[in-house]
Structure 1
Amino acid sequence: MKATGYDGLSSRAVAEPELREFLSRCFEIAEHELASAVFYTHGEVSGHFAMSFSVGIEGRLAERVGRHEFARRFAAHFDAFVLYGDTEPPGQWTVVLPDGSSLLAAMEEGEDHYELYAASAPIPGLLDLRPL
């Protein structure tokens, strides 16, 4: 079965047990299926984000939960803002806020360091962003 992946950044670091539980609930699968239907990695980053994540899933699960819906659920569940890329203009990313709203943003990135510098709408807690 075809697989796909959801990569992103979260403003909140999530412990592995919490992440496993979320993935199981999000994709409506038993936790033991995580090893076969869902593969994930995550790591610590700095800047405006605390964690990077990469979630590989079987195609049937992508039909249940698309990329934007996954980011929306993650942001709401963990009370975080989540950045991901899909079909945005070059140099821009989608940011989903905990309330489910989304906006476009631009960022500078270095080795595991991610700083937003512009956004199409305000992001709570990030006061120095210029308009996009």
Structure 2
Amino acid sequence: MRRHTLVSVTESQATGYDWLSSRPVPQTELRTFLLECFAIAEDELFVGHADRTDDELRAYPPDAAFAAFCTYDHQVSGHFAMSLSVGIEGRLADQVGRREFAERFAARFDAYVLYGDTEPPGLWTVILPDGSRLRAALEEDDVRCVLYAATAPVPGLPQVRVDEGLWQIR
């Protein structure tokens, strides 16, 4: 397996942003978004399908270093259509935090985004395209991910039960 490197030039540590999107995004649009979001050069970014990463990395020198390394998969089903994982170096995490990143993605692609940050176990944050934030509970098996409760209505998903009490769970 080939290795990829995240280069850190700040005191902050490299980190990763993992989430699910309600809408699939083509690789070219995802690449453009990441370049603009992090204000990085083309050669600082890798974007590839999760199942083809090793093959796609063959186009790069074995010691290539990326400021941002993104893999995606469209094999998700249920209320979500795409999973993404973005590894970033510390300076990029300093520029764009996890929540801001999800908000930018949701707004840009008119999607709702599910991610985890500081929620209690079993709960997640959902960012809607308008930037509003919900706490939600998710049922998942293999690649099927379905919201079953949220602190407010999720547009287009009337079957998701509204439970404002999810905010109280610690």
TM-score by length of 2: 0.76
Q: Counterpart of 1:111?
A: 142
Separation in structure 2 between the aligned mates of residue 48 and residue 130 of structure 1, nearest angstrom: 14
Q: Which residue matches 1:3?
A: 14
Counterpart mapping for 1:27-46 below 5 A = 27-35=38-46, 36-44=66-74, 45-46=76-77
CA deviation vs aligned residue, 1:37-70 (integer Å, no higher than 9, x gap): 0001110110000000000000110000000000
Please state how far the C-alpha of 1:131 moved relative to its aligned partner: 2.1
Q: d(CA) in 2 for partners of 1:17 and 1:62? A: 22
Work out the CA distance in 1 between the residues paired with 2:154 and 2:146: 13
Q: Are residues 1:66 and 2:85 paired?
A: no
Which has the larger share of strand?
A: 1
| Counterparts of residues 47-58 of structure 1 (less than 5 Å) | 47-58=78-89
Q: Is the 8 A contact 1:21 1:31 kept in 2?
A: no
Q: Percent identity at matched positions?
A: 67
Which amino acid counterpart does residue 43 of structure 2 have in structure 1?
A: H
Among 151, 155, 160, the alignment partner of 1:120 is 151
Aligned to 1:26: 37
What CA distance in whole angstroms lies between the structure 1 residues aligned with 2:161 and 2:28? Answer: 37
Q: How many residues align?
A: 132
Correspondence 1:80 to 2:111: yes
- The structure with the larger Rg is 2
* Correspondence 1:14 to 2:25: yes
CA distance in 2, matches of 1:123, 1:41: 26
User: Following the alignment from structure 1 to structure 2, what is the Cα–Cα distance between the partners of residues 39 and 115?
Assistant: 27
Distance in 1, matches of 2:42 and 2:151, equals 38
Identify the range of structure 1 (56-65 vs 27-36) with the bigger mean alpha-carbon deviation: 27-36
Q: CA RMSD in A?
A: 0.8
CA distance in structure 2 between the partners assigned to 1:32 and 1:48 by the alignment: 34
Unaligned runs of 5+ in 1: none
The range that moved more, 26-35 or 81-90, is: 26-35
